Structure 1
Amino acid sequence: MSSLSKIIAGVLLVAGLVLAFVAWRLASAPSSPPQPAAPVAASAPAPQEPVKFYPVVVAAKAIPAGTRIAPDMLEVAKWQVALSGGFPAADLLTGAIVRTDVAMGDPILPSMLAHGMASLLQPGERALAVAVDEVSGGGNRILPGDFVDVFFMLDKSSEVQAGQARLLQSQLRVLAYGANSLDGPEEKSLLQQGAPAQPAKTAVLAVPVERVSELMLASRAGRLQLALRPLGDAGVPDIALFPQRRAAMQARADLTPGQRELLDSGPNRAYGGDTLPQMDGTTLSPRQAVRGSGGGGRSVEIVRGDKSERVRY
């Protein structure tokens, strides 16, 4: 081996020893404790939006079908979702009539309410249509919502002692006149749209139930005339100043005083009915009143062999 090779081998040996010593020192040196991590700044919580509530009118108690809504039957609840078609305020429903049973807590929806002309009638009223033309209908100047007086004319006949014209009913509310109505205009088909308006042929009046029969009799036996009333005029006749008409159907004789008081109620008075001779305003004598107490002013002759009998009805 040459001297150069010996020198190189010696240098490599020394370098190996040095590296081995360094490795031993690193392995035997104690490990340093872990350095604490730098504190992380705490992030502020994101602000939350406030919960939004929507007013919804609900039933404060059970409401039977056909009931007219009073303020104490409703309350306003707060819901987190808006109710489509609901009502936000209770005063929007005061006076409305429910056509279905509503349970307590149920929201009031338009589908639960009565619509049409029936919802416009007050307790004790009935909607009655009478025929009109340009003359009897005030020149077609009457509109739904107006108040009218109904006059009637009777010609002399076998049932009416003298022709007459007088006030029959006063201060009746007009619910509809022709195609116009308080519950909305009449729906027109595509063929009718653009066509000239037809003259009114009927007027629908709100009539007390006990006076429907007399209006029907007058419309069949005589001629009616509607007279438009001025705004704010509350004058009506005092019928207590005139003789009271007897009903077509006489009450039972064995009624108690309490039952006789019920005869003046609207439905019972309507059930008793009216007769045309009673409506002509002629005061009957006591004898005529007794003879006519069995019924109306008409009679029929019944013949049995050689005997005849006249029966009033």
Structure 2
Amino acid sequence: MNSRITLGLAGLFLIGAIIAGYWGVSLSRQPAPEPVVQVTDTPPVIATQASMPADDLTRHPVVVLVNNVAAFVPITAADVTVEKLRTVPAGSLTRLDQVIGRTPWRALSAGTWLNDASFEAGSQLSRMIRIDERALAVAVDEVINVGGQLTPGDYVDVLLFLRKDTLNLQPSSQLVIPALRVLGVGEQMGLTNDGQPSSPTANQDEKLKQDQKRAAARTVLLAVPEQLVSRLMLAAQVGVLRLAVRSADEQRLARYWAGERVSATTLANANRELLQFSQLAMTAPPPKSAPVSNGNAPRKPSVEVIRGNEITQQTP
């Protein structure tokens, strides 16, 4: 009995083994699945050589300093590089051989683009005026400085107030010089005559500090025609000055950059409109002469009366 059960179980295992083997062979013969190709709508980007030159054509080489260069120190190859800019500053140098070995007359900071004026003698202030102008500093306070709102490039009228004293019998005021260009306010300077900033571009924090210093400035630099320098000096000594800002709609700064100069007629009109006060002329007023009497008429005795700086002859 046990042998029969054993034979039956062996037969069942044999049949199961045959079925499992057949099943395994069948699964191994199925074809492998084909890989799925993902299709996108974006075409592949192919770099062409035609696009690169088109981009380079819009940029031009400019020589720029990468290191600070002290005055009277020759520039070396390590101090400069060539950058390609879309907007090229006027007069800028384009090759390294144009600057290597040259000696600047003033200190140049890193990031400055170079031109021939970078190697010319003279301070930044001297390159902000023309040959017929003089830069003159005027002492100011918050009132004279128009509440600290003056900016380099503004145009101002210089007004003079004269108090009453022994030489000036009544208070008076007048326009001393009209339309003077502001070169600088305190430490903040404007552009030089080649269009280059006289000081390096500052970041936001430094710009805020410059604005604060400008508001508290105690000196203003003015570009004065050579013929009117003495007048402004005398006016600053004998009275109180005020600076009146002119409107930007007059386009005076634009006309200056276009090359317009102060004409002789304008200077003559300014001289003609100046009221002559004894303080401004630095001389005492002439005494009034006594009236000429007729030789035949009897001469009456007169009394000399002095009122301040005025001398008169009165007959009792």
State the TM-score bracket (shorter-chain normalisation): 0.3 to 0.5
| TM-score for both structures, normalised by structure 2 | 0.41
- Higher-Rg structure is 1
